Amino acid sequence: MENHDGVKGMLRTQQLIRNENLHCASNYHPLPVVLTRGQDVWLWDVEGRRYLDMMSAYSAVSFGHSHPELVAVLCEQAQRLAVTSRAFHNDLLGPFLGLLCEMTGMDRALPMNTGAEAVETALKAARKWGYQAKGIPEGQARIIVCKGNFAGRTTTIVGFSSEPQYRAGFGPFAPGFDVVPFGDADALELAITPDTAAFLVEPVQGEAGIVVPPPGYLARCREICSRHNVLLICDEVQTGLGRTGRLLACEHESVVPDALVLGKALGGGLLPVSAFLARAGVMDVFQPGDHGSTFGGNPLACAVGHAALQLLRRESLAQRAATTGARLLQGLRSIAHPAIRDLRGKGLLIGLELDPHFISAHAFCLRLMEHGILSKDTHGTVVRFAPPLTISAGQVDDALATIKAVFAELPAPQQQRPLAA
């Protein structure tokens, strides 16, 4: 009977995947699992198998799946008032943005939906600030970004990406961007000209493979930008709201940026919520009609975002991420295997770089899936470990035991032959 049920489950999985492939654009290559339910750090597939989520939807599920407090807020608000557009005031926008500004130390916030939208907002603000406040000639403003950056998928954003696939076939691209190596403050200073309006940087590069810059890098960038009257804009869509063990990743070096981009976790894992935040002198360049969003700042998003921020603070989730992240990192460092090239990260944002001659990161993630852990590779070489911030020490230990078991299954070095991806 169990075998019969297992076959039925496999057939259902295959049919659902075939149906998705038939109707959905093939812009993703998901692992062959069909998820149907989630609770806290756990996910279940349509066959009833349970998995530990070590991905958190790229940090969007930092509070765990279907957090009961956030779901209750979502349901209550959805029955009261969900969307009005910013053509009118609503009673939740002020309290939400007020708490967000208080917690981040910013003066003003502009609500959007996705991280990419918030980054686009930051680019518009930086350029207009450059013309109005710095005196850059109209149409000449430049923004410095880093090699390996990932800020979204819009045509402007992929235009300053250094990843060929993100750009291929999507040009022509907007001008006005200069690319410097990540982690090299001297290169930043050399790239600055009188027409430079801003420097947009991720404190830790996520999509590039959880790349952590050298100690003191961000603080030095802050000093350079201040000296040259250049805005420092920190893209913390993935690293913000407790992920790295601090509320903001830039706080690790006591850096206060001129502007900040938040998203992902801001929606509590329930809906897209993002924001561009800045000091008043930057945000005040916007006047009515300059910029907008039909759904940005809607009451439903404000209710969930406000509740998520309260939960983050009340449950000390940033501190928990620091503690459990250190436990996870220490446990991973204890694994002695020649397939491991590097291990890096902060808090609960950790990248495990593998030698592709032993096994590709994608193949490793497939093996993890077979053992009940879900994660995703980046660029075929790095496995991400970024579970919900609610993960317990015991669950971290269980995950480490599973990861060690997967490594133990790999062929011994003296018998090693490359494994298929």
The helix or strand, by DSSP H or E, that contains position 18, with its residue range, turns out to be helix 2-23
> Is 5 among the residues known to form the active site?
no
- The answer to whether 168 and 182 have CB atoms below 8 angstroms apart is no
Give every CB contact of residue 382 below 8 A, 6+ residues apart in sequence: 209, 210, 351, 352, 353, 354, 361
Distance CA 279, CA 215 (A): 26
Select which of 128, 264, 346, 376 is catalytic: 264
Q: How far is CA 96 from CA 41, 49, 109, in A?
A: 26, 38, 10
Residue 381: closest CA among 407, 402, 403, 363: 363
292's tokens: 């907008």
Angle at 58 between CA 124 and CA 15, to 5 degrees: 120
Distance CA 360, CA 376 (A): 11
Torsion angles phi and psi, residue 228, rounded to 5? -100, 10
> Is 264 among the residues known to form the active site?
yes
Select which of 150, 177, 182, 286 is catalytic: 150
Alpha helices in 68-216 (DSSP H): 68-80, 93-104, 115-129, 155-159, 164-167, 185-191
Please tell me what DSSP assigns to residue 40: B
Q: Cβ atoms within 10 A of the Cβ of 412, count? A: 7
284's tokens: 């005040």
The DSSP secondary structure of 312-368, one letter per residue, reads HHHTTHHHHHHHHHHHHHHHHHT---TTEEEEEEETTEEEEEE-TTT--HHHHHHHH
Select which of 184, 235, 258, 377 is catalytic: 235
Distance CA 306, CA 312 (A): 10
Catalytic positions, please? 150, 235, 264
